[in-house]
């Protein structure tokens, strides 16, 4: 089977541009005529540093990341992003509270500081989660595993108002965020910008997380990274695995507000966290350590960083001054065409999520009301046309067309033709 005859709509790992893969084959054997491949050179070599700098630069250009933000590369995957958010931001929150208490009671009275701090942690430590799909659910479960249920506030569980199913984002006035008080409020608010399994995407940044006293906002953008403009300043932390829109599996990218790093913010000492029964995170997840070492505290898979760099530099070259707005237009157009076809034949197809929160990246729908045999036949017909990876997630079934950046407009149009053809013949 020829690669050029296939259009792959899998949810990730996702396709990569063919030219990037062709060049990758070459650099794996011989990078820049050195007689050594990219996986064989030191992550501390000048070549590796250059790759790291170029990849960072391309991301900064695409998303217009301001100077007061840091870009980190980790091997954590998206899932490690859930844990790192908790380890780092809880530790920063604790240290801030400790410093405030110490200023009040005096630095030399450690026992009194600890006693007061214990009570503050007990009463006030809250991590707010907006649960709108299975990935934010998993993130909230990880937070509960790490710090305990009493510190995790599920400010919204989208299933509660939707017959126990995801596919809907409740109105903001229905969210029960931890109240913002002077010096108080949640340690952070967390959401997943695009839910890959259920096909739910936040249409815009939530209003209730804005304002002068806005909380620290953390977002998982694993499945819609670099697919639309992002006002980075509204976030404390943005993270995502690279393997959907950016590159291949192996790295996660973190965009972090620099004020969360030393000297502005410090993390609590491991002894203090232990005394408070709070988790001490692995050093490789420690933002301050990773940032201080330019993401090279431990061995970074430079080949994966190179792939991500190639993908993003190609977008920078293609869209020039329009940056990510150019890609956003294409992503929106592909999604529009597919949803238009699904809506046109709504007697046959049913889009799962609510119209206003439909994901541009993961288009989830049922065929014939979800009849398993008929959906199987639909998938078989698609495969015959080279339209692969359309089977829905194992937990929810149905059909899912993932519309990541490497899916071409031509591929999306072929899917639309198949949707029309199938509907006419059904
Ligand atoms: N977050 C989202 C939105 C995802 O779609 C995924 C994986 O598909 C993850 C997190 C988990 O990523 P990883 O498998 O890299 O840990």
**Helices 302-319/18-29 angle, 10° precision:** 140
C-beta of 78 in contact with ligand 1 (< 6 A) = yes
C-beta of 242 in contact with ligand 1 (< 6 A) = no
d(CA 23, CA 418): 33
Q: Which of 14, 76, 77, 195 has the most ligand 1 atoms within 8 A of CB, as the residue to mutate?
A: 77
C-beta of 75 in contact with ligand 1 (< 6 A) = no
C-beta of 225 in contact with ligand 1 (< 6 A) = no
DSSP track, 151-213: GEEEEEEGGGGTTT--S----GGG--PPPP-TT-S-SEEEEESEETTTTEE-SS--GGG-STT
Task: Compute, in angstroms, the gap from residue 116 CA to the centroid of ligand 1.
Answer: 38
pTM of this prediction exceeds 0.90 = yes
Handedness of CA 87, 90, 96, 102 (dihedral sign): negative
Q: Which of 135, 360, 362 has the most ligand 1 atoms within 8 A of CB, as the residue to mutate?
A: 135
- What's the pLDDT score for residue 106? 82
Closest to 56 measured CA to CA, from 271, 224, 296, 342: 296
Per-residue pLDDT of the chain (426 residues), as tens digits, is 999 999 999 999 999 999 999 999 999 999 999 999 999 999 999 999 999 999 999 999 999 999 999 999 999 999 999 999 999 999 999 999 999 999 999 877 899 999 999 999 999 999 999 999 999 999 999 999 999 999 999 999 999 978 899 999 999 999 999 998 877 899 999 999 999 999 999 999 999 999 988 999 999 999 999 999 999 999 999 999 999 999 999 999 999 999 999 999 999 999 999 999 999 999 999 999 999 999 999 999 999 999 999 999 999 999 998 999 999 999 999 999 999 999 999 999 999 999 999 999 999 999 999 999 999 999 999 999 999 999 999 988 999 999 999 999 999 999 999 999 999 998
Determine which residue's CA is closest to atom 3 belonging to ligand 1: 222
- What's the pLDDT score for residue 401? 98
Atom of ligand 1 nearest to the CA of 196: 5
C-beta of 223 in contact with ligand 1 (< 6 A) = yes
Q: Which of 241, 248, 304 has the most ligand 1 atoms within 8 A of CB, as the residue to mutate?
A: 241
- What's the pLDDT score for residue 184? 83
CB 329 within 8 A of CB 323: no
- Strand, helix or coil for residue 250: coil
- What's the pLDDT score for residue 362? 98
- Spatial CB neighbours of 137, under 8 Å, sequence gap ≥ 6: 131
C-beta of 157 in contact with ligand 1 (< 6 A) = no
Chain-centroid distance, C-alpha 358: 17
C-beta of 220 in contact with ligand 1 (< 6 A) = yes
Closest to 247 measured CA to CA, from 46, 5, 23, 6: 23
DSSP track, 73-141: EES-HHHHHHHHHHHHHHHHHHHHHHHHHHHHH-TT-HHHHHHHHHHHHHHH--EEEEE-SHHHHHHHH
Element (H, E) at 374: helix 372-384
- What's the pLDDT score for residue 191? 98
- Spatial CB neighbours of 116, under 8 Å, sequence gap ≥ 6: 101, 105
C-beta of 135 in contact with ligand 1 (< 6 A) = yes
- Strand, helix or coil for residue 362: strand
CB 396 within 8 A of CB 321: no
C-beta of 241 in contact with ligand 1 (< 6 A) = yes
Determine which residue's CA is closest to atom 2 belonging to ligand 1: 222
C-beta of 77 in contact with ligand 1 (< 6 A) = yes
Atom of ligand 1 nearest to the CA of 197: 5
- What's the pLDDT score for residue 107? 75
Determine which residue's CA is closest to atom 10 belonging to ligand 1: 78
Determine which residue's CA is closest to atom 11 belonging to ligand 1: 78
Domains of the chain, earliest start first: 56-304 (3.40.640.10), 323-425 (3.90.1150.10)
Q: Which two tokens stand for residue 356?
A: 């206003």
Q: Which of 12, 79, 361 has the most ligand 1 atoms within 8 A of CB, as the residue to mutate?
A: 79
DSSP track, 330-354: HHHHHHHHHHHHHHHTTTTEEESS-
Atom of ligand 1 nearest to the CA of 194: 3
- What's the pLDDT score for residue 45? 94
Q: Is the peptide bond before 263 cis (omega within 30 degrees of 0)?
A: yes
Closest to 217 measured CA to CA, from 195, 176, 186: 186
d(CA 404, CA 54): 23
């Amino acid at each position: 089977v020829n690669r050029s005859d296939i259009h792959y709509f899998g949810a990730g790992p996702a396709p990569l541009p063919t030219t990037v893969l062709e060049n990758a084959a070459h650099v794996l054997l011989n990078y820049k005529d050195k007689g050594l491949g990219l996986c064989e050179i030191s992550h501390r070599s000048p070549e590796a540093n250059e790759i790291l700098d170029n990849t960072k630069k391309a991301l900064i250009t695409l998303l217009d990341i301001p100077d007061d933000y840091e870009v980190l590369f980790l091997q954590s995957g998206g899932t490690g992003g859930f844990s790192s958010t908790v380890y780092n931001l809880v530790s920063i929150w604790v240290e801030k509270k400790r410093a405030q208490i110490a200023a009040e009671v005096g630095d030399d009275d450690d026992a009194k500081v600890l006693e007061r701090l214990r009570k503050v942690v007990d009463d006030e430590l809250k991590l707010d989660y907006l649960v709108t799909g299975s990935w934010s659910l998993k993130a909230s479960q990880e937070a509960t595993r790490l710090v305990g249920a009493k510190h995790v506030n599920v400010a919204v569980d989208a299933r509660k108002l939707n017959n126990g199913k995801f596919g809907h984002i409740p109105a903001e006035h229905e969210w029960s965020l931890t109240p913002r008080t002077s010096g108080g409020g949640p340690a952070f608010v967390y959401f997943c910008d695009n839910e890959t399994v259920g096909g739910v995407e936040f249409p815009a940044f939530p209003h209730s997380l804005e304002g002068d006293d806005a909380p620290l906002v953390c977002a998982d953008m694993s499945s819609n990274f670099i697919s639309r403009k992002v006002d980075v300043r509204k976030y404390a932390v943005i993270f995502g695995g690279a393997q959907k829109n950016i590159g291949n599996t192996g790295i996660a990218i973190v965009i972090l507000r620099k004020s969360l790093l030393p000297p502005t913010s410090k993390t609590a000492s491991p002894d203090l966290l232990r005394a408070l029964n709070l988790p001490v995170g692995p050093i490789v997840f420690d933002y301050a350590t990773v940032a201080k070492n330019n993401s090279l505290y431990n061995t970074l898979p430079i080949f994966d960083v190179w792939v991500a760099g190639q993908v993003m530099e190609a977008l920078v070259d293609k869209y020039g001054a329009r940056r990510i707005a150019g890609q956003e237009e294409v992503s929106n157009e592909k999604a529009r065409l597919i949803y238009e076809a699904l809506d046109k034949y709504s007697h046959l197809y049913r889009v799962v999520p609510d119209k206003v929160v439909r994901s541009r990246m993961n288009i989830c729908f049922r065929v014939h009301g979800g009849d398993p045999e008929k959906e199987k036949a639909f998938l078989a017909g698609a495969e015959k046309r080279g339209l692969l990876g359309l089977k829905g997630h194992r937990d929810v079934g149905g059909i899912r067309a993932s519309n990541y950046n490497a899916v071409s407009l031509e591929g999306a149009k072929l899917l639309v033709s198949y949707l029309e053809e199938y509907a006419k013949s059904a």
